[in-house]
Amino acid sequence: MATDYYAVLGVRRDAGQDEIKKAFRRLARELHPDVNPDPKTQERFKEINAAYEVLSDPAKRQVYDLGGDPLSPNGGGGGAGGFGAGAAGFGFSDIMDAFFGAASGQRGPRSRTRRGQDAMIRLEITLEEAAFGTTKELQVDTAVTCTTCSGEGAAPGTSAQTCDMCRGKGEVSQVTRSFLGQVMTSRPCPQCQGFGTVVPTPCPECAGDGRVRARRTLTVKIPAGVDNGTRIQLAGEGEVGPGGGPAGDLYVEIAETSHPTFQRRGDDLHCTVTIPMTAAALGTQVPLQTLDGLEDVDIRPGTQSGQSIPLHGRGVTHLRGGGRGDLIVHVEVQTPTKLDPEQEDLLRRLSALRGEERPSGQFAPGQQGLFSRLKDAFNGR
């Protein structure tokens, strides 16, 4: 034989069909005229087509291995290799496989039934409901299966029919001629949009979509410990798909409303209690309405403004795991701005008793008084 087909494809003589097919795909991607229009490359492309036609057909390969000409009329072969009708072991699908893989041959009508989209709704809850959990009823507007046609999309008493243009394949093919022979291309059927069937009489309720919009009432259980932005997934409660397909999921996003007393930071709650300076000096008890009811906050004598008093286990329930956060009470000491003569006299007497008529003041580390800063400025420090 003048042509060594095994050398053309670059495979051994004992190569299996998978190895031969892989070699052909690799060379077809490199030498296809659309990729490399050089005339010498086109001749090389014809050679690998002929080689693949012979070696991919067990009968022709046996004739070739015995020294015969498998492409001659007497040798059992057809005409020249390539895209022509005589290429029994090679066709357009092999080129498509070379460029796009075996998935390109997996064609057919697409289904009218598809999964529906997911939906999301915001739900406002109070701090108390977030801390301890609750149950809510929601009104949602989503697509549901049309009860008139049961999701089929066809009017009652009718049904979808096979498309007469593509004969149910969902695609139409067109054959064109090139210097390599006949080339077949496929595209979705314009009459059925690729479904393979047409609905001559659509359902009057859903206009052939198989679903309609409706309002539903859902009961949602809100777990204790949710926070702003927490999303609760309700599987299968979203939009029903076209053609009565399975429903998507519904996500409930939590929006916690502000509380008049408490601020939430994670699972801890914070609040501020303002007390007069006398109460801070002498100590007292301040009633506070917590999430668990009325409690007395113990203010110890000598409490300073800005101090914090923790109430353990009075915060929000942990979403994952047991226990609760804390309630942190911040104390703010209020200094009187208006004093009557008697009150002023009492404070002056107290100031004298404590030797505080002319306090020198105390500075935190790293801070200086006004005169010290001026002195440093003049000394050039």
Is residue 330 within 8 A of residue 270, CB to CB? The reply is yes
Residue 14, both tokens? 């004992």
Query: SS3 of 184, please?
Result: strand
pLDDT of residue 119: 92
* Bridge partners, residue 285, by sequence: 298
Is residue 109 within 8 A of residue 136, CB to CB? The reply is no
Q: pLDDT, tens digit, for every residue of 309-365?
A: 999 999 999 998 889 999 999 999 999 888 899 988 998 898 888 887 777 666 656
318 and 225 together in one domain: no
Asked if residue 202 belongs to a domain, the reply is no
57 and 99 together in one domain: yes
Question: How many Å apart are CA 186 and CA 197, to the nearest integer?
Answer: 17
CATH assignment of the domain containing 315: 2.60.260.20
Asked if residue 360 belongs to a domain, the reply is no
**Which of 92-96, 168-172, 211-215 bottoms out in mean pLDDT, i.e. has the lowest?**
92-96
pLDDT of residue 6: 87
Nearest partner of 90 among 38, 50, 37, judged by Cα: 50
230 and 142 together in one domain: yes
Percent of the chain with pLDDT over 70: 80
228 and 320 together in one domain: no
Largest CA distance in the chain: 133
122 and 228 together in one domain: yes
26 and 123 together in one domain: no
Among the candidates 73, 105, 137, a domain finishes at 105
Asked if residue 379 belongs to a domain, the reply is no
- Structural domain count, the chain: 3
Return mean pLDDT, the chain. 82
Asked if residue 96 belongs to a domain, the reply is yes
Nearest partner of 128 among 252, 264, 221, 253, judged by Cα: 264
Give the residue numbers spanning the domain of 228: 115-147+210-257
36 and 85 together in one domain: yes
Among the candidates 85, 105, 125, a domain finishes at 105
Alpha helices of 179-321 — where are they, by DSSP H? 277-282
Question: How many Å apart are CA 107 and CA 186, to the nearest integer?
Answer: 10
CA angle 120/123/128 to nearest 5° reads: 145
Asked if residue 291 belongs to a domain, the reply is yes
In the Cβ-directed half-sphere of 57, how many Cα atoms lie within 13 Å? 22
132 and 44 together in one domain: no
Asked if residue 370 belongs to a domain, the reply is no
The single-letter code of the amino acid at 135 is T
CATH assignment of the domain containing 30: 1.10.287.110
Threshold 0.75, pTM exceeds: no
